[in-house]
Structure 1
Amino acid sequence: MSVEGTWNLVIATPIGRQQAVLRLFMQDGALHDVATGEAEEVPLTGLECHGDRLTWRQSITKPMRLHLAFDVTVTQDALAWRPPTASPRWPRPSAPSTAAPT
Structure 2
Amino acid sequence: MANVDGRWDSVVKSPMGEQKGVLVLKSDGSSLTGNSEGPMGNVELTNGKVDGNALSWKMDIKTPMAMTLEVNATIDGDTIEGSMKLGPFGNAPFKATRA
SS of the equivalent of 1:43 reads strand
The Cα offsets for residues 55-99 of structure 1, whole Å up to 9 and x where unpaired, read as: 0011112344331110010010101102x11334x2565xx4321
Query: TM-score scaled to structure 2, two decimals?
Result: 0.82
Greater gyration radius: 1
Deviation beyond 6 Å, 4+ runs, structure 1: none
CA distance in 2, matches of 1:45, 1:51: 19
Structure (1 or 2) with the greater strand fraction = 2
Query: TM-score scaled to structure 1, two decimals?
Result: 0.80
The Cα offsets for residues 21-65 of structure 1, whole Å up to 9 and x where unpaired, read as: 1101257xx543121111411111101101000100111123443
Q: 1:80 to 1:68 in 2, by over 3 A?
A: same
Question: What's the % identity of the aligned pairs?
Answer: 28
User: Would the aligned equivalents of 1:80 and 1:99 in 2 still touch at CA under 8 Å?
Assistant: yes
Number of equivalent positions: 97
User: Would the aligned equivalents of 1:35 and 1:41 in 2 still touch at CA under 8 Å?
Assistant: yes
